[in-house]
Amino acid sequence: MWDKLPKPFYILAPMEGVTDTVFRQIIVSTGKPDVFFTEFVPVDAILSKGKPAIMQSLDYSEIERPIVAQIWGTDPEKFEKVAKMLVKMGFDGIDINMGCPVRDVVKTGACSALINNPKLAKEIILATIKGAGKLPVSVKTRIGFSEIQTEQWVKHLLETPIAALTLHLRTAKEQSIPPAHWEEIGRAVKIRNEMGSKTLIIGNGDVKTLKEAKEKVEKYNIDGVMIGRGIFENVYLFNNATRFKKRRDEIASDYESIDPTTITPTQKIELLLKHLELYKQIKGDGKHFQLMKKFVKCYVNNFPGANGMRAKLMEARTLEELITGAKNLDFN
């Protein structure tokens, strides 16, 4: 899958409680990235009695391809078992989360904690590759745990035959607070080239537009860019990132995404309603309805009266109230 992507390529970052199949399908309609990732899912839960509930996080539709399943944990044997399951589920790739800095996750020794346990990290990668068979395995991680350690960490990871390596250009300790250390991605590319590795290098951190992403690609000679929080500011962010029959440079030479200020308030609310109705169709209007409120800011923004309308919608107590409230918004 990775080798067939256009260069450079752009990815919507996996975000817990955000990038589920509903939101990904909405993004397909506004401008599809070159690759989608699922939310990150623990291998322990997939192999537990609670499997039916957690498997919803791995739901996807055909229009979301190529789609990569992201998993995390600490037991290599479980990674191998889960990888075999993901192959049968038809995913286009498997990604191992070695970057999440959330304290409760780190305490288990998983995700970014693996930066301090390179031996286990390598065992997990090799076990996943074994279970994945011909399916490509990639890693998303950070440039260090408490301090920057790009060189030793990247070298260790590239000793394995992973297909792609995404680097969030902050340490786990930094969370998402200081500016991303983009100079470190250039160091990673240099290490990759010196090692003769074929692993694709992807940068992540503080990129809000395709224009910025293109600038990073050109400056650091990376293969692709992963964009996360920028999607909240502009759901049309990837609009010119899609390649079907045409090459991207024939679609938009400057790689810029649609300016959200050119989208009318009515169009934004129509898209919000589409999102709400799709959520209702796929997931119903049960206990997870509150999660939908976080998406209101994606659509009700950057137009006169948006703040007041958004506050009113946030008062909704049910999905139906939210849908009705969005339908009744007055722009006059």
C-beta atoms surrounding 193 within 10 Å: 11
Instruction: Please report which helix (H) or strand (E) contains residue 98, including its range.
Output: strand 93-98
100 labelled catalytic: yes
Q: Residue 59: name the closest of 98, 100, 90, 16 by CA.
A: 90
User: CA torsion sign, 112 to 116 to 121 to 122?
Assistant: positive
| Cβ pair 294, 288 in contact under 8 A | no
Pairing between β-strand 224-227 and β-strand 9-12 as defined by DSSP bridges: parallel
Closest CA to 173 of 112, 119, 110, 108: 112
Neighbours of 264 (CB within 10 A): 11
Structure token pair of residue 50: 């609670």
C-alpha distances in Å from residue 276, one per residue of 17, 232, 289, 323, 326: 15, 16, 10, 7, 10
Give the single-character DSSP code of 148: B
Distance CA 152, CA 222 (A): 19
From the candidates 27, 71, 100, 164, which is the catalytic residue?
A: 100
Assign 223 to helix, strand or coil: coil
User: Which of these, 103, 99, 193, 190, lies nearest to 143 by C-alpha position?
Assistant: 99
Q: How far is CA 44 from CA 93, 274, 329, in A?
A: 19, 34, 44
Catalytic residues: 100
